[in-house]
Amino acid sequence: MGEKAELLKKTDKCIRCGTCIAFCPVARASLPVNSRYFASEGFRTPEREKYSAKNSFNCTLCMACVKVCPRGVPVPLVVEYLRSQLGEKELPTNVKLIVDNIQDSGNVHGADREDWLMWTYESEEPVEDRVKVPADVGYFVGCNSAYSPSAARIPLAAIKIFRKANVDFTILGPDESCCAAPLLMAGRLGQAKKLIEENVKAFKDLKIKTLVTSCPACFRMWRDIYPKITEVPFKVEHITQFISRLVEEGKLKPESIGDLRVVYQDPCELARGCGIIEEPRRALKSVPGLKLEEYSQCKDNAICCGGGGLLRAYDQETARNAAELKIDEAKKLGVDAIITSCPSCLQNLLKSQSRIKIMDMAELFAGKHSQKEH
């Protein structure tokens, strides 16, 4: 049975109950093409399939729909299949640009590899000495954090944590290539094999024992997708797992930040996609003075902020509207800050220009932060 026939068999289970719509960030942003449409109508006729494929980027691939679906209809797989059926010229302009950039430059921004170290310019200590040196821990920075000024704070915080905890670490520097997650999201995973093999070989040559990354999409690729393509001979951890372990082992002592009420935004790929739910919460609860609140829908039931699945590249307004809904709920909780652990979540929430502070979890453990900073 072919891939399409298999998916048709699974989507036939859809009873059009609409449960998924309540959790779909695109539906909440009032777009008509949402999770239920892809589940119930996506393949019904050639005309609908063509329409569905054209609109398949109206989805963050957040996996909330399949989590709550009483029949287990795999909507994200449907969306990925529909995207894979689009020819190169049929891809949305900004999505095609990302795919081309990765192929041509090794990163989503199409930036020169020599610019990779720009995020290190604000580092209090030199970082260049950690480029491609044998070490126990390899830190995979990721495209967004390396090339986007708004996300550079994330690897800067991670490096501070490594230094504070006396972690023997290395980075790839300009030789780091995109993890290839955007190619998977664009239905182009077949084009990613070379990048994947290069990334694995680069860290393998440095004889690392553990790879750490701050990006949930990178983490899922390294942990779950890479091993299907090539051997990954080391442990893979998200930074939240790594921080939690350092705290529990007494190697990282959280600093007091005064009285700070926060809510944690679960990144979809991290919580639903990879099951990393309690580690970030344990770490947050170890910070003196921090009070952790929860969204009404949280953990593996969390509502997506709109930052994933290439939606930001396809429709910035819808992505921003989804973020505004998360900001509004945070305001009702009366928190001082939204904490997340994903560069895409961070960037999308920052677009709201809210007075609520938006932070990556690693920043809390890097030091010198208080609720008065904005």
Q: Which residue has the tokens 């892809």?
A: 38
Q: Is 372 exposed, middle or buried (0-12, 13-18, 19+ CB in 10 A)?
A: exposed
What is the H or E stretch that residue 357 is in? strand 357-360
Are 9 and 76 within 8 A, CB to CB? no
Domains 93-246 and 254-366 share a fold: yes
CATH number of 93-246: 3.40.50.1860
Compute the distance between CA of residue 201 and CA of residue 217 in angstroms, rounded to an integer: 20
- Residue 182 reports pLDDT greater than 70: yes
For 264-318, write each residue's pLDDT tens digit.
999 999 999 999 999 999 999 999 999 999 999 999 999 999 999 999 999 999 9
Locate the domains of the chain by residue range: 3-86, 93-246, 254-366
CA angle 270, 309, 215 (to 5 degrees): 40
Q: Is 16 exposed, middle or buried (0-12, 13-18, 19+ CB in 10 A)?
A: exposed
Q: Which CATH topology does 3-86 take?
A: Fumarate Reductase Iron-sulfur Protein; Chain B, domain 2 (1.10.1060)
Mean pLDDT of the 190-196 span: 90
Following DSSP, what letter does each residue of 249-283 receive, concatenated? TTSS-PPP--SEEEEE---HIIIIIT---HHHHHH
Res 219: pLDDT: 99
Res 370: pLDDT: 36
The number of angstroms, rounded, from the C-alpha of 73 to the middle of its chain's C-alpha atoms is 23
Coil/strand/helix, residue 73: coil
322: left (phi over 0), alpha (psi -120 to 50) or beta: alpha
Give me the torsion for CA of 94, 96, 99, 101, rounded to 10°.
-70
DSSP bridge pairs for 260: 290
For 320-353, write each residue's pLDDT tens digit.
999 999 999 999 999 999 999 999 999 999 988 7
Res 226: pLDDT: 97
Q: How far apart are the first and last CA of the chain?
A: 55
For 5-35, write each residue's pLDDT tens digit.
888 888 888 888 888 888 899 888 766 666 7
Res 256: pLDDT: 92
Backbone angles phi, psi at 72, to 5 degrees: 65, 35
For 205-241, write each residue's pLDDT tens digit.
999 999 999 999 999 999 999 999 999 999 999 999 9
- 210-213 and 235-238 as β-strands: parallel, antiparallel, unpaired? parallel
Res 372: pLDDT: 38
For 68-127, write each residue's pLDDT tens digit.
999 999 999 989 988 998 888 899 999 999 999 999 999 999 999 999 999 998 888 889
For 125-177, write each residue's pLDDT tens digit.
889 999 999 999 999 999 999 999 999 999 999 999 999 999 999 999 999 99
Alpha helices in 187-305 (DSSP H): 193-205, 216-220, 226-229, 239-248, 268, 278-285
CA dihedral for 151, 152, 155, 161, sign (positive or negative) = negative
Given the candidates 3.10.180.10, 1.10.1270.20, 3.40.50.11810, 1.10.3720.10, the CATH classification of the domain at 254-366 is 3.40.50.11810
306: left (phi over 0), alpha (psi -120 to 50) or beta: left
Res 374: pLDDT: 39
